[in-house]
Structure 1
Amino acid sequence: MTLMTIIDNSELNKSNKQSQKLEKLWLDVEKKQARNQRYRAKLEGFYEEFKPLIESKEHVVCAATGKWVQHLLTFVPRKTIKGNQRVELYGWIEEELTILEANPFNPISTTDLREFFTSLLIDFQSTMPKQTVSDEELEALREDLFGMFGEWLPLSNEELIDMIHHPERFQAYIHDMLSQSNNAEAQDEHQDDVEWDEPGWDMGDDFSFENDDSELPMSTALFEDKAMTKLYRQLANQLHPDKEQDPAQKALKKDLMQLLSQAKKDKDALALLMMAQEHLPEYKLIADEDMIKRVEAALYSKIALLNQDHQFMQHGNDIKSEIWRRFGGGGKASRAKTLQQYGDLLIIEAEALYAKINNVTTVQALREQLSQRMHQQELNDMMGFGMFEDFLD
């Protein structure tokens, strides 16, 4: 590959060595750009494959979940649901709303559902006389909250009593706590994934930072260097669309001129240099020692940013990355099979929700469901606390 030559006019006897170093950095940048483009194309391609196959089925299960939430809300005004079971009912509604909000394909307005939920809580509370809350009831509520969040919450007795008397505040508190918990878990998972594969751990990357200069490599001083001004003019002359007769080339150069103008607007000297590498391969840029160091630092910085971008695509929580991590393993046939199976499961899930709507029609039936949930939570807590460790010794 032919690269634009950068000559250090202050140390001509070392220019060959310096040129080789810069050439290696340029090639490293291009290699990592190509890698990122391939990975991004893979994410984009699989997302386009995923969307028409799965999106409509995600809508089906979201619609079913919304109907199930609406069905659960019909039980909120029922005064015969009391104590821990009422707390469990509120927690169940909150859980289903959170599931809907976490689904990137969700077409259901959870805002409307939440507002309706709050209005039901207010209406229900207005019909209930203020009652004395015993210490045993407060302790039971604390234990329920511990089972829900896995930690003892810093709530005073007065705050708990206020939530009991104002269920809409209790619902809002649960929503805030679940949101914080989900955000913290997502950050922890991202950190766990990234910390073992950061560029600084030298796990296969063929570069390391040799600069710890607090000065930004893409500073205005570098961009406004006379050599960069001359380079900009050469690029503008080379890429000007008015000099092209061929319509396709004219359109291409129009796009390139827009990139060049953006680089000028951003004072992005490295962008100019990278465009020159491609479009002015025979150009010789005369640079002093300070400029050489800045270019070198800029290349190291660019490599670091490219690696950071690659890490984000691999471990980020955007929808395309998550879909690829979950369903993108194996070959094309394997991925197609996985998507088919997942789509089938979504339909089964939706059908199960509609079946529950049809079956859970009385308070007694709902109580049984609530008791099952509470019992399962107790089992989960026992396992979490290691209650059965003695049997494993």
Structure 2
Amino acid sequence: MNVNLGRWQNPWRLMLAVNAAVLLGVFLVKIRLPPYVPYIHLLVDYHYGFTKRALIGAIVAVFTDKVPVWLVFALAGATWLITLGLFAKLFRRTFGFDDAQLPLFVFTAGSPFFLKNFMHTLGHFDIYGCALAIGLLLIPAQSIAYVVVAALVAIVLILIHHINLLMYVPTIAAIVVLRFYLVQGITRQNVAVGIAALAAVGILFLVAQFAGTIDVSYDEFLRHLQGRMADPSRTDLLAFGYIWYQPLSKELADTWARMPSNILGVPVFALLIWLHTPLWRYFARLIGALGSELHRRIVIAAIIMISAGYLVMFAIVFDYSRWISNWAVCMFLVLHAVKMLPSSKDVPVIPSDDRATTIFAWVVTLIPRVGIVRPF
């Protein structure tokens, strides 16, 4: 009994338990909210030909003609659990699960940017990019087949939603460079395959963005979606059907019209990032300890590239809380990729007995989520 009590007196283990309780609370709140955007993504398929944002709905259409609302939470919940399992496996493989690594696990898995916000955005497409990127960190990267698999992953993500070109494809590209090209070296063959992969992904994005629109009238489109609903009376869930007709110019105009109010959330985002200071310091030490100056420069360039993609997203679509959360998740994933590279020295872990670190970790633990558009 004394041994078990002692284990729970460890504040880092207690933080994990509190995180689990917070996640449960976020889930109970989430399932009571109408899944407007997630549900309509399950209804849209390729009925009218190639259509952007339609892959998930097309897969659902293979198995059922009528889509119940609960399927949003069933599919999204299963995807969330798979992502949790994949991340736990990745963390164990990269760092281990001893007590010394608990602070790092709390600052990543327990971050309001990560699993807790994915729970709040249950049913949105963001988590697919994260799960597939984790998969690329787990599988072997010893042959050119790895580059091909990564390209297929990027293609799937763009078919799910073309904004993944900015959201997760840069992180996938960074993982491929760090895990394959820096380790296996550059040859004429693997460079050619890499260029071909980038071209294929880029062309698909342009097709999805500019040729993936629906040619029929909006009313006809809504009638088709209503015909796929298990409960056609829930027409309120079709309120976001216009996003399949909205041109890029309209998205830009809407985003900049909301900019004066949405920009007020930036200090909050900065505060949330600052609360992860022990994690960022550890990340910087990992980069500084890399055995090659070239590797360090490429890692920094990858971080800049990923961040630049998110800056572009900030200018295009106004779901700022989602974007900043996914940016942080991408940093967590790059952290794992960096840890896999050869290092010139051991890097001290995040201290578990530092008072400031513990306070930051408790605050991070107690924050339930970041949100979708505005903070919280």
TM-score band by shorter chain is under 0.3
Structure possessing the higher relative contact order (Cα contacts under 8 Å, 6 or more residues apart) = 1
Greater CA radius of gyration, 1 or 2? 1
| TM-score, normalised relative to structure 1 | 0.21
